[in-house]
Amino acid sequence: MTKPPVSGRDAVRATVPKMIEVTETVIYGDIWERPGLSKRDRSLVVLATLIATYRPEQLRGHLARALDNGVTKDEIAEVITHLAFYSGWPGSMTAARIAKEVYEERGLT
């Protein structure tokens, strides 16, 4: 029997417990819950930020969250393509590879 994957937060919770507490209470407990933007729109903003700043490890989890929040594969492709010209081709190519892996893991290919 395989173990479920450990979330990024759980992987470092014992090392930086206060950082994880603040992440869960402020970022996910407050910022993501504010009424000014939908979770779907917040996911698009976060994807763009992570791609533009080349944060591939965080991108994987946020791609999954974006799909859960209603962002489509076509919309993700548009964000990746758009950013290739505004923030760099290498970051978008890395994002495309990670998106492909996330889709495969979810059976969305």
Q: Please name each of the domains of the chain with its CATH number.
A: 1-34 (no CATH), 38-109 (1.20.1290.10)
pLDDT recorded at residue 68 = 97
Given a cut of 80, whether residue 24 has pLDDT beyond it is yes
**pLDDT category of residue 7 using cuts at 50, 70 and 90:** confident
Output the CA–CA distances (angstroms, integers) from residue 10 to 7, 31, 40, 69, 95, in the order listed.
Answer: 5, 20, 24, 21, 23
pLDDT recorded at residue 20 = 93
**pLDDT category of residue 6 using cuts at 50, 70 and 90:** low
DSSP 24: I
Tens of pLDDT, residue by residue over 32-86, are: 999 999 999 999 999 999 999 999 999 999 999 999 999 999 999 999 999 999 9
Residue 76 · residue 99 · CB < 8 Å:
yes
Handedness of CA 51, 6, 23, 35 (dihedral sign): positive
| Prediction pTM value | 0.87
pLDDT recorded at residue 3 = 56
